[in-house]
Amino acid sequence: MVDESLLRELVPTVIGVLVRRGADFASAEDAVQEALIRALETWPEDSPRGPKAWLVTVAWRRFLDATRAEASRRGREQVVDSEPEVGPVPATDDTLRLYFLCASPVLAPASAVALTLRAVGGLTTRQIASAYLVPEATMAQRISRAKRRIAGLPLDTAGGLATVLRVLYLVFNEGYGGDVDLAAEAIRLTRQLAELTDEPEVAGLLALMLLHHARRASRTGPSGDLVPLADQDRTRWDTAAIAEGVTILQHALARDQLGEYQAQAAIAALHADAPSTAETDWVQIVEWYDELLRLTDSPVVRLNRAVALGEADGPQAGLAALAAVPPDLPRYAATSAYLHERAGDLAHAADLYAQAAHAATSVAERDHLTRQAARTRHHLTPPP
C-alpha cells in the first residue's frame, strides 16, 4: 500500500532539488510527476528505504532523459550531465517558495489553483481534472499554459501572501468531487503552509477552513438536497475540528494583527458555538462583519451582514442594509426573499425565491430555492 500523503508531502522538496541542480521549473515538475506515477506502480511491491532519495533519483533521471532527447538543447545537456545523478538530498524545504511561485501574479486564479495542486499538492493531472469535473486534456492544457507563463522565473520570484491564501481558499471552496476531496486537500496544504510561517492570517485561514469543514456532514440531506444552517443537525458537526479551529483562531487573534480570514473564522466560530440559530450571538456576528467591511469593503460581506443584522435587529433592519448591496450580486435575490419572508411579505418573498432559483448555478441550489418558493406560496393559500 502506497502512502499517497507522504508522496504529496515530498513533491515540493523534490522539485526544489531538481531546480537547484539546473532544471527549469516546468521540466522539474514534469519529471517529478513521472516519478510519482512510477512510485505508485512499483512501491506496493518494492518500497524504498529512502522515499525522498528515490523520488529525487528517478525524477532526475527522467529529466536527463527528456533533456538528452532534445537536439536543440545539446549545450544544456552537457551542463546537467555534469551533475551527479545520485547523492545526498539536502534538507532544504522549498514548499513555501513553491506556494508563492504557483501564486504568481502573472497567472489567472484558475491556473494558479491547478498549478498549486500539481506542484505543491502532488496531485496528477487526472486527479485535478476529476475534481474539477473537466476533461483531463483540458486540465493538462491549463497546467501547461501556467507552467509556460512562469518558465524561467526563479523560486524566489513570487506573488504575495494574500494571493497564496486566496488560491488556497479557492481550492477549498471548490467543494468535493471526483477522487480528490478538494476541501480536505486545501486544509492539508494550508496546514502545511501554517507550519512554514507564523503569519496570523495563515492560521486564520486554516481555522476558517476547519470550522466550515466541521459542518460538512450536515449540509446535505440523504438525497443530496441542501440543508440551510438553521435546519442542520448540529449533533453531526465535527466537534474535534471545531475545537481545533477555535484554538488556532484564538492564538492568531492574540497576535493583534487582524485580517479578513481571522474575522471570517471568528464569525464561523460563533455559529459553531451556538446550540441553535435562535441562540446565536447575532449582535457579535454583526460586529465582526463591521470589522470585515473595514478590512475589505466587499459587497459579499455587505450581503452577509444584512442577513446577520436581520437576525439581530429584525428583518426591516436587514432590508435597509440590503439596499446598499448591488442587486446583481449572486445570492442577492435569495437573501432578499428570506428577509421579506421574515418581514411577512410572503407574496414578494415567493417571487424572489423563484427568481433566485432561475439564476442558481447548481442543481442542488436551484432545487432548494424552488422548494422555498413553493413553501412560501403554500402559506399564502387560505386553508379550505
Q: Where exactly are the structural domains of the chain?
A: 4-81, 94-197, 331-384
Note the pLDDT tens digit of each residue in 341-354. 999 999 999 999 99
Q: State the pLDDT at residue 156.
A: 58
- Reference 232, options 175, 276, 280; nearest CA is 276
Please answer whether residues 28 and 63 qualify as being in contact, where contact means their C-beta atoms are separated by less than 8 angstroms. Answer: yes
Q: pLDDT category, 170, cuts 50, 70, 90?
A: confident
Q: State the pLDDT at residue 93.
A: 59
Q: State the pLDDT at residue 110.
A: 86
Note the pLDDT tens digit of each residue in 210-242. 999 999 999 988 888 899 999 999 999 999 999
C-alpha cell at 186: 486545501
If you average pLDDT over every residue of the chain, what do you get? 87
- Reference 217, options 267, 269, 176, 276; nearest CA is 176
Q: pLDDT category, 76, cuts 50, 70, 90?
A: very low
Q: State the pLDDT at residue 104.
A: 84
Q: State the pLDDT at residue 20.
A: 82
C-alpha cell at 328: 446583481
Q: State the pLDDT at residue 89.
A: 47
**Which amino acid does the sequence have at 342?**
R
- Higher-pLDDT residue of 242 and 277 is 242
Q: State the pLDDT at residue 157.
A: 58
Q: State the pLDDT at residue 71.
A: 47
What CA dihedral angle connects 267, 270, 271 and 275, to 10 degrees? -170
**Which amino acid does the sequence have at 282?**
W
Q: pLDDT category, 382, cuts 50, 70, 90?
A: low
* pTM metric for this prediction: 0.82
Show Cβ contacts of residue 311 under 8 Å, excluding neighbours closer than 6 positions. 277, 280, 282, 285, 318
